[in-house]
Chains A and B, each alone.
Chain A
């Protein structure tokens, strides 16, 4: 089955810096890759997603890139702000299955 690995587990940056979180997946049939932000005591909130027919997607300060050949995808946050501090999860959805396989999460801390 699908396995998703996520790095780093923790990431500390200064306000205004960029942050990059990377994930790799094992099942080449996976075709959907969402990223979720989870704040303390809350449910995961979708921030951006990418489907396998595109290589990059941007939404203001957030971008995701996908390399299907290497089976990895990354989240890029530019001009970080303290309110970006949270745990970020990547996930992959294998074709034919209606479930998400999550990475282990990255705790992002943005210091003012």
Chain B
């Protein structure tokens, strides 16, 4: 099964630490999206990346959050100096093309808990 893969599935950090979330897109997909889901809420778009490029980061908080999708390896969502409000499920999705009508397939998510 060559679905979207995310790791770790669960991540616990203390306030002030860094969190690194990884996402490997489906085979043949070169477009990656990150979404955040707060408890009992819908998913909110954070960032859209292609290989080596950030295309749309309009949903990403301006501070402490960054994302990359290097030429080789998975996409990384990095949260520096985590705070309790960062506790959420972070989902990655991938698509084959860049058209707005293309299907996005989601991974199982990383559940971040900040103590």
Contact = CB atoms under 8 A, between A and B. Distances in A.
A25 interface: no
Given A89-B42, A89-B43, A36 B106 contact: yes
B106 A31 contact: no
Nearest to B109: A43
Interface string A81-99: 0000000010001111111
A104 interface: yes
B69 interface: no
Contacts of A44: 43, 91, 106
B31 to A, nearest CB: 7
A60 to B, nearest CB: 18
Interface string B98-110: 1111111111110
Contacts of B31: 98
A96 B98 CA distance: 9
Contacts of A36: 106
B44 A102 contact: yes
Contact of B100 (A89, A94, A105): A94
A31 B48 CA distance: 19
B106 A45 contact: yes
Given A49-B103, A102-B43, 15 more contacts: A42-B108, A43-B6, A45-B106, A46-B105, A46-B106, A98-B55, A98-B56, A98-B95, A98-B98, A98-B99, A98-B102, A99-B59, A102-B42, A102-B44, A104-B42
Interface of B: 4, 6, 31, 33, 35, 41-45, 48, 55-56, 58-59, 91, 93, 95, 98-109
